Amino acid sequence: MCPFVEKFTKSTTIMYTDELNSYNRLKRIRHTVCHSKYEWARDDDGDSVREVDVNSSEGSWTGLRNFLQPFRGVHKDYLPGYVAIHEFAINHKHVSHVFISAIVRLH
């Protein structure tokens, strides 16, 4: 996992993770929450903004799982395509001419 994350993130990326040991090898700045101590988010600097949380990351995996559920299983060879479609939909929440052009490749 670490080589993949490091390949697709900048060296200045701040990673927000849970306490899982597999993240310890990441060569990135890392802030963690400790789920085993019932911590889900943390305000590190006291400004009432919870800077450290992983709920959006974990929620995105739930969103992908829910997106894939109607297909009742996806062959592993086609999984990257389904993930790309889901990612595209998340990044383009509103249907616009740019969105439609990207899908159908209008010129």
Quick: pLDDT tens for 95-106. Answer: 777 777 777 765
Q: Is the pLDDT of residue 1 over 70?
A: no
Q: Which helix (H) or strand (E) holds 30?
A: strand 29-33
Is the CB of residue 39 less than 8 Å from the CB of residue 47?
Answer: no
Give the pLDDT score at 64: 83
Is the CB of residue 68 less than 8 Å from the CB of residue 31?
Answer: no
Mean pLDDT value across the chain: 80
Global pTM? Answer: 0.49
Is the CB of residue 65 less than 8 Å from the CB of residue 42?
Answer: no
Give the pLDDT score at 59: 67
